[in-house]
Structures are given as C-alpha cells and as structure tokens.
Amino acid sequence: MSHSIVDLRSDTVSQPTDKMRARMASAVVGDDVYSEDPTVNELEARTAAIFGKEAGLFVPSGTMGNLLAIMVHCHRRGAEALVGDLSHIFLYEQGGASHLAGVQLATLKNEQDGTFSLQELRRRIRHEDCHEPITSLVVVENTHNICGGKVVPLAFLDELVALVRQPGVGTGSARIALHMDGARVFNAAAALGVGVERICRDFDSVSICFSKSLSAPVGSVLVGSKAFISEAHRLRKALGGGMRQVGVLAAAGLVALDEVVPLLPKDHEHTKKIAQAIFDLNSPNITVNLETVQSNILLVEITQPKLLASELADRLGIVESGEVAAGVTGKNGAGIVVKACARDWAFARLVLYHQVDDELVELAIRKLKYVIGQYDLRWPRE
C-alpha cells in the first residue's frame, strides 16, 4: 500500500496542468534565436505588458535571468552590484556574477522582512574614488525566499527608488539601475492585492519565474526596456540560453498567466492554515511566527537546541509503525510522508502550490501534529 505523499520541499516540484500539457502539444513554434517562435513572442509580449515594460526575453531559468540583468546593467569593467546577504543571487547562484560576468557582488544585511537598510545602502554606493569599484546596480528579491516568503513593502520600494534616483547618486550621467529578482513576484502581488506593474513600476528590469508557484515545467521571462532586452538577447546566446523551437515550453507560461496566477491566494490560505495548526500546538520545541506568514512559504522554527531542522525533515519523511495505529493515515489507510526542505538552517521550510489541495493540506497537518507531539513528549515544557 502506497503512502500518501505531500511534497512541500518547494513550489518547483509543481506539475504542469492538463491545460498546459495540451497547449504545449499543440504549440506553434519557430526558431526563437531568430525571434521567430510565435508562442515565445506571445509570452514575452504578454509578460512585458503585464509588468508595464517594453519587452521581454524567455530564458531557461531564473538564475540566467538574474545573471543577464547583472551583465547588462553592469557592463563596465570594475562594476559592482549591491544585493541582500540572504538573497538568492548571493547564496544560490554559484557566484555567477563574479566568475561569469566579472561583476563584484557586495552585500547589504537583509532584515527579517526582506528589506535592507537604506541608510547603509547610501553609505555603500561607490563611484567617486578611483580605488573603488563602481556601484552600478541594486537588486531586490520579492518575495524573499530565505526570509520566509516575505513581501517587500511598497513603501520600502518607493523609498529605495527615491534614494537611487537622487541627483548626484551614481557615476556622472549613468544612474544606478534597479533589478528585481521577482521569481515569486506574482505571490507578492496576490498578498498585497495590487498588480505586479505597481510593484515593479520603477525597476529597470524584473526576472519572473514560471516554474515555481506558476507550475510551468521550465522557464523565466526577463522584462525591461527594448534596449535592455536587445542586449540581454545577445548575451543569452553567449550563456548557452539560445533555444530553438522552444514554444513548446513557452506555451505553458501562457496558460500559467490565465489559469494559475488567479489561484495563488488559495496557496497563501493553505500556508496560513498549516501555520495556525502548528502554532496552536503551543509546542516548546517547534513553532511558527504567524505574523510573518505572508505568501506561500512557511518557516517552521526549531526552538529546541537538541533538534536540527534536517532531523525534523527526515522524520517527516518516514512512516513509523505506530503512526498507522494512531490513525495518522490517508484515505487508503497508509501512512503519510511530508517532504520538507532543510539545510543548516534554524528552521524547516514548507512551500505550498496549487496542486497541494485541501485534502493534502489536512494530511500535512495530521503528520506535523503527530511528529511535533513526539518531540514534545521527548522534550516537555519545563
């Protein structure tokens, strides 16, 4: 008898929908390197329009989208980009800005809400001293992954723009560019109740991932001005991102915009439901901060120093004999496996997506309650 599996490691494990598969199978294609794939062109144009930008570029991954943005904005030798110290670009993209683009990344301390100090940013901007690199780009991640899916406040974005656009900030007539790593920016829009165009209004470029919470199998779209995208298109070829009849992949992105984006608020509701269930246990060992649950990412905090997040993840991934007898099962009477993400963090990460339906959410809660209860018996409140 198969166990019921609830995979919450990441929204990257989401599956293409039936409509996506059908659209992919019937996609009209051409050679995208020559900009002759009509399905890709449609996805690029639609995405750019939704974000209020002039043009878009379909790329294999968000990592490539971010790297291209850095390469275009930091084209001058000796350029520097300022990013958060917990940003995906800094932590999880292999330092590509340095060893592929020749751009130095300098970090700003991320606050718990995904922002960083604008006063510190102002002090870190460099362009006048010939001994120093030239600050050419500032990057914001929204929503912020490692900060727990935090939605960066609009007020912060507006203040950041005002600071960077101040006269005298930048090198001569070359202003500092702003890029948004918007892998999950549609989640930010759903949480704020505003359009993505408003969130990204003053940013020069945005990278949007279609293979996370939007459920497409592959791809991101980079948007910006026509001149920016023209240069990014050229550099994409150098990075090995020039794809040919790739409309079969872009087709899924078109369906995502119509079918999956409207479902994101439900993912957020599911995330909050699991968070509330954990919080209500009042465990001395494992908890969540309800006030910080804003989108589809939930950080499960490990407050017991003798317990590692990786150990919690491992335990959630197995079924012990006592669980079935205790009724921790699915409809088929088999055990429940919950897959969680944990590294050397003080938390385990759970990520929701639209294919985790009401039933799977209830199964996840059932398993979490049982496992946390075990730990509470082992380490009771003093």
User: Residue 337: left (phi > 0), alpha (psi -120 to 50), or beta?
Assistant: beta
- pLDDT above 70 for 173: no
Q: Read off the pLDDT band of 197 (50, 70, 90).
A: very high
High-pLDDT (> 90) share of the chain, %: 90
pLDDT in tens, 108-166: 999 999 999 999 999 999 877 788 888 999 999 999 999 999 999 999 999 999 999 88
Decide if 346 contacts 301 (C-beta within 8 A). Answer: yes
- pLDDT above 60 for 172: no
- pLDDT above 70 for 248: yes
CB atoms within 10 A of CB 117: 13
What mean pLDDT do residues 18-31 have?
A: 97
Element (DSSP H or E) covering residue 320: none
- pLDDT above 80 for 272: yes
For residue 289, what pLDDT is reported?
94
pLDDT in tens, 326-370: 999 998 899 999 999 998 788 999 999 999 999 999 999 999 999
How many angstroms separate the CA atoms of 141 and 310, rounded?
25
Mean pLDDT is lowest, of 26-35, 165-174, 215-224, for 165-174
Angle (deg, nearest 10), helices 264-280 and 358-378:
20
- pLDDT above 70 for 87: yes
Q: Read off the pLDDT band of 170 (50, 70, 90).
A: low
For residue 341, what pLDDT is reported?
95
Residues 6+ apart with CB under 8 A from 225: 53, 54, 55, 204
The mean pLDDT of the chain is 95
For residue 282, what pLDDT is reported?
96
For residue 1, what pLDDT is reported?
64
pTM attached to this predicted model = 0.94
Higher pLDDT, residue 321 or 159: 159
How many angstroms separate the CA atoms of 184 and 11, rounded?
10
